[in-house]
Structure 1
Amino acid sequence: MKKFLIIAVMALSLGAYAQVDPTFEKEGDKVKATYFHANGEKSQEGYFLNEKLEGEWKMFNEKGEKIAMGNYENGVRTGTWLFWEGDVKSEVSFDNNRIASVSKAGKKDPVVSNK
């Protein structure tokens, strides 16, 4: 019985840490990459061009909710990236792969209230 319990615990532990392989699809000159969390939910999605990150990339939490989105040019973060953490949205501007500015905004107040 003790051996069975140990084997069951080990099997569950290995299952919890199972790796989901990423997928890669050729689309014209670019390669679309999709990475996954251990639970099978998408973790990141974006493109490579000449083996460098290129274009829009999106990141998701383990529940499948978008947590970040931004652009790469030739492997370098550019422009304004958006990050979501609960009700807070942050806008982070990048210049030459370095943070240039950060601004945060809370959830917008409703336009109509039924009080």
Structure 2
Amino acid sequence: MKNIMIIAIALFATISFAQKKERTLKVNKDTNLIEVVYYHDNGEVSQTGTYTLDGKLQGQWVSYNKEGDKTIVANYDNGKKSGKWFYYTDNGTVKEVDYSKNVIASLKETDLKANEDF
């Protein structure tokens, strides 16, 4: 019986420490938005952004790859795509997509090495 109890405790401890954080949530009382951070399996941040209290994407969202490099900067207004979105590529360019009323209004590609504004 004692051996079974030791095995059960060891198994519980292993499972508890093996669990990885998938996300963190916090309600910002000043903005009335839910701030969220999602994580990759390796513990690196996957996405950051905010939701409205009724669950719609709001404001700026930033996505990262497993190495922690920024891949996308997006903007939402009450769940709809809005404003400028930036898609960062591995070859050093950024694709800029401008949204108006949840529809693509314009596209542009820029070489990051030539333009340090990004």
Pairwise TM-score range, normalised by the shorter structure: 0.7 to 0.9
Deviation at 1:70, TM superposition (A): 2.0
Q: How does 1:1-115 map to 2 (within 5 A)?
A: 20-28=21-29, 29-49=32-52, 50-86=54-90, 87-109=92-114
Residues of 1 paired with 2:44 and 2:22: CA distance? 12
Listed one character per residue, the Cα deviations across residues 12-47 of structure 1 (whole Å, up to 9, x for unaligned) are xxxxxx764211011121110111111111110000
Q: Which residue of 2 aligns with 1:8?
A: none
Residues of 2 paired with 1:47 and 1:84: CA distance? 21
Deviation at 1:98, TM superposition (A): 2.0
Q: Return 5+ residue gaps in structure 2 as ranges.
A: 1-18
- Give the 3-state SS of the residue equivalent to 2:49 in structure 1: strand
Residues of 1 paired with 2:40 and 2:113: CA distance? 30
The 1:96/1:109 distance shift into structure 2, 3 A limit, reads closer
TM-score, with length taken from structure 1: 0.73
Is the 8 Å Cα contact of residues 37 and 46 (structure 2) preserved in structure 1?
Answer: yes
Letter in 2 for 1:25: K
Residues of 1 paired with 2:114 and 2:33: CA distance? 41
Is the 8 Å Cα contact of residues 23 and 38 (structure 2) preserved in structure 1?
Answer: yes
RMSD: 1.8
TM-score, with length taken from structure 2: 0.72
Q: Return 5+ residue gaps in structure 1 as ranges.
A: 1-17, 111-115
Question: Once the two structures are aligned, what percentage of the paired residues are identical?
Answer: 31
Residues of 2 paired with 1:37 and 1:78: CA distance? 26
Is the 8 Å Cα contact of residues 25 and 34 (structure 2) preserved in structure 1?
Answer: yes
